Amino acid sequence: MLKIKDLHASVEDKAILRGINLEVKPGEVHAIMGPNGSGKSTLASVVAGKEEYEVEQGEIILNGENIDELAAEERAHKGVFLSFQYPVEIPGVSVTNFMKTAINESRKAQGLDDMPANEMLKMIREKAELLEIDRKFLSRSLNEGFSGGEKKRNEIFQMAMLEPKLAILDETDSGLDIDALRIVANGVNKLKSEDNAVIVITHYQRLLDYIVPDYVHVLYEGRIVKSGTKELAHELEEKGYDWIKEEANA
């Protein structure tokens, strides 16, 4: 699904990623953890194609294709989805209208006609039900006046609508109370399949109680310094990151 080889990236000449190697196979869930400033969100942005980040070295390969040179929207068309840590507001554009535009743009890129309105409505209804979303919510302006929980739930709703191959959840648990966390995690679990993969970026172990990872990686100073199974997450929860830092600096 995703292969990242020796990825180096910088922003405004400041090196942030310094040689990331990662392979994610279909059906897998990977968690990326690490202390603040280790490069977790940068990794998500670079894979999604945010233009401020300069890829200096290495490759990002999605389903056998090098996507380094592709624009963000082209990567999206190929099935990359990023659930944002801080989703932006777009006043006057309803969630429904936004999704309709996004889906039809992706279809256009694949040479398909717009999705017929009735099909779109049906899909919206199904996905809203799946994620326990009140449909009134969908006619509100995108993220405008949304609570933290609503924003994150809206991200997962979009993920459900776009049916990505690779979903990267950037700190989806931040700002969520335990109930919201459970709803969001359940949503992700329902969307998981043998054909897609999920990368969960998080500080804390608690999200991983709900979205259980196959692998856990620890990012520190722009490198993956340790990989393991979900037990590693528990260990981090218990012992913090200091021992990781010591090991890495040794």
Partner 1 sequence: MNKYTEDDLREELKTKEYEYGFYTDIESDTFPNGLNEDIVRAISGKKNEPEWMTEWRLEAFKVWKEMIEPEWANVNYQKPDFQAISYYSAPNSKPKYDSLDEVDPELLATFEKLGISLDEQKKLAGVAMDVVVDSVSVATTFKETLAEKGIIFMSISEAIQEHPELVKKYIGTVVPQKDNFYAALNSAVFSDGSFCYIPKGVRCPMELSTYFRINQAGTGQFERTLVIADEGSYVSYLEGCTAPSRDENQLHAAVVELIALEDAEIKYSTVQNWFPGDAEGKGGVFNFVTKRGLCEKNAKISWTQVETGSAVTWKYPSCVLKGDNSIGEFYSIAVTNNYQQADTGTKMIHLGKNTKSTIISKGISAGKSQNSYRGLVQISSRAENARNFSQCDSLLMGNECGAHTFPYIEAKNKSAQIEHEATTSKIGEDQIFYCNQRGIDTEKAIALIVNGFSKEVLNKLPMEFAVEAQKLLEISLEGSVG
**Binding test (CB under 8 A) with partner 1, winner from 15, 35, 68, 148:** 68
Distance, CA of 48 to chain centre: 9
Q: How far is the CB of 92 from partner 1 (least distance, A)?
A: 3
- Residue 91 binds partner 1 (CB under 8 A): yes
* Measured distance CA(10)–CA(46) in Å, rounded: 10
User: Which residues from 113-142 bind partner 1, rule CB under 8 A?
Assistant: 141
Q: How is residue 116 annotated by DSSP?
A: P
Paired tokens of 109: 């890129």
81 binds partner 1, rule: CB under 8 A: yes
Phi-psi sector, 22: left (phi>0), alpha (psi -120 to 50), beta: beta
Cβ contacts of 64 within 8 Å, gap of 6 or more: none
Round to whole Å and give the CA distance between 196 and 29.
Answer: 9
Nearer to partner 1, 84 or 146 (CB): 84
Q: Please report how close the Cβ of residue 103 comes to partner 1 at its closest, in angstroms.
A: 8
Binding partner 1 by CB under 8 A: which of 20, 29, 48, 211?
A: 48
Beta bridge pairs of residue 223: 220
| Residues of this chain, 3-32, that bind partner 1 according to CB under 8 A | none
77 binds partner 1 (CB under 8 A): yes
Pairing of strands 65-66, 53-62: antiparallel
Does 84 interact with partner 1 (rule: CB under 8 A)? yes
Q: Is 127 exposed, middle or buried (CB count within 10 Å of its CB: 0-12, 13-18, 19+)?
A: buried
Query: Under rule CB under 8 A, how many of the chain's residues touch partner 1?
Result: 34
Residues 1, 159: Cα–Cα separation, whole Å: 17
**In the window 156-195, what residues touch partner 1 (CB under 8 A)?**
158, 162
Candidates 59, 66, 109, 247; binder of partner 1 (CB under 8 A) is 109
Give the shortest CB-72-to-partner 1 separation in angstroms: 4
The binding site for partner 1 (CB under 8 A) comprises 48-52, 55, 68-69, 71-73, 76-77, 80-82, 84, 87-88, 90-93, 97-98, 101-103, 105-106, 109, 141, 158, 162
